Amino acid sequence: MSNTNAPVPAGWYPDPSGAQQLRWWDGAQWTAHYAPLAGAAQQQVPVQPAQQQVPVQPAQQPVQQPAYTQGYGQQPAYGQTYAPARPRLADGARIYNAYIWLVVALPFLSVVLLPFYQPHFDFVTSSDGSVVYNGSPLAMFGPMYFVIVGVGFLTYALSVVFAWLDYRELERVGVVRPFHWAWTFLSGLVYVIGRSVIVRRVAPGRGLVPIWVTIGLYVLSIVISFAWGISLVSSMMHSIPNMQNLGA
């Protein structure tokens, strides 16, 4: 082991082969004497002598990692990183559109039709004085009942379509990985909540209006359903003969 300026003094130096140990340099060449790293003080690595070339393992090149995993909802593979934070939208970016408001409003259309569903109850007094129902068992399933059920299925399908259109619109304005529209198959409410959370992250201070509108519509639907239930019970009670006599 020589140097063009001065010979390297004998001593313990890191093994030039790359092993995690020390090796004795006698001032002229490497010897067969080794020592653990903790067994001797670290010294400056000498220049390897020209007459004894000891192969040194090249430094391992770092594995280049992708910026983020491709594909929504996929788990990152070994050696990859998770998706970075979504970039913020520009101030004034349009985060609301007609599609999201249709997703919010459509599920409540069936509730609006409830007051128009008024089944008829036909109670009569039998010969022994008891009150019996004289109507058809299918009287509850009138045309309006099937209208409400059909509207419910139609609004469910339309909510999925409009959620998909809203998803595409959010991508167009620059939202990275919007909340996926397929969650609408579970419930339109799930999509509205997830969509609002994502939009609020990329547009701080905005994005929660659909949730508040949904809460307001839920409160309104409870009021309508409660009023319709009272009206239905009242209609049934007035159709019972004994109740009519009590009312008189």
Reading the chain (248 residues) residue by residue, the pLDDT tens digits are 444 556 788 888 888 887 778 888 888 888 877 788 764 445 545 545 444 444 444 455 554 544 444 444 455 555 555 556 788 888 888 999 999 999 999 999 989 898 888 877 766 666 666 766 666 666 677 788 899 999 999 999 999 999 999 999 999 999 999 999 999 999 999 999 999 999 999 999 899 999 999 999 999 999 999 998 898 888 777 767 655 554 44
Assess whether 137 and 187 both reside in one domain. Answer: yes
Is residue 66 domain-resident? no
Same domain, 47 and 143: no
Q: For residue 55, how many C-alpha atoms fall within 13 Å in the half-sphere facing its CB?
A: 2
Whether residue 49 is contained in a domain is answered as yes
Burial annotation 68-107 (CB, 10 A radius, 16+ → b, else e): eeeeeeeeeeeebeebeeeeebeeeeebeeebbebbbbbb
Same-domain status, 159 and 213: yes
29 occurs within a structural domain: yes
172, burial (CB in 10 Å: exposed 0-12, middle 13-18, buried 19+) = exposed
Is the same domain home to 109 and 199? yes
Q: Taking every pair of C-alpha atoms in the chain, what is the biggest distance, in angstroms? A: 129
Count of C-beta atoms within a 10 Å radius of residue 67 = 9
For residue 64, tell me if it sits in a domain.
no
pLDDT given for residue 90 in this prediction: 86
199 close to 86: Cβ distance less than 8 angstroms? no
Which 8-state DSSP code applies to residue 99?
A: H
Enumerate residues 6+ apart whose C-beta is below 8 A from 111: 220, 221, 224, 225
Type of residue found at 159: S
Residues 30 and 130 in one domain: no
Is residue 124 domain-shared with residue 229, that is, in the same domain? yes
d(CA 182, CA 171): 15
3-state SS assignment for residue 89: coil
Contacts 24+ apart (CB under 8 A), 129-137: 131/240, 131/241, 131/242
Residues 164 and 221 in one domain: yes
d(CA 214, CA 193): 9
pTM of the model: 0.58
Give a yes or no: residue 62 inside a domain.
Answer: no
Rounded Cα distance between 231 and 203, Å, is 45
Asked if residue 84 belongs to a domain, the reply is no
Q: Are residues 186 and 120 in the same domain?
A: yes
Answer yes or no: do 43 and 146 share one domain.
Answer: no
Q: What is the DSSP string of 8-75?
A: PPSEEEE-TT--SSEEEE-SSSEEEEEE-GGGS---PPPPPPTTS----PPPPPPPP--SS-SSTTPP
E-state strands within 94-176? 123-125, 131-133
Is residue 91 assigned to a domain?
no
pLDDT at residue 248, rounded to an integer: 45
Q: Examine residue 63 and state whether it is found in any structural domain, yes or no.
A: no
Pair (137, 234) in one structural domain: yes
Q: What's the burial of 234, exposed, middle or buried (CB within 10 Å: 0-12/13-18/19+)? A: exposed
* 123 and 1 within one domain: no
Domain tally for the chain?
Answer: 2
Structural domain boundaries, residue 169: 98-247
112/207 same-domain check: yes
Smallest CA-to-CA distance from 32 within 40, 23, 21, 41 is with: 23
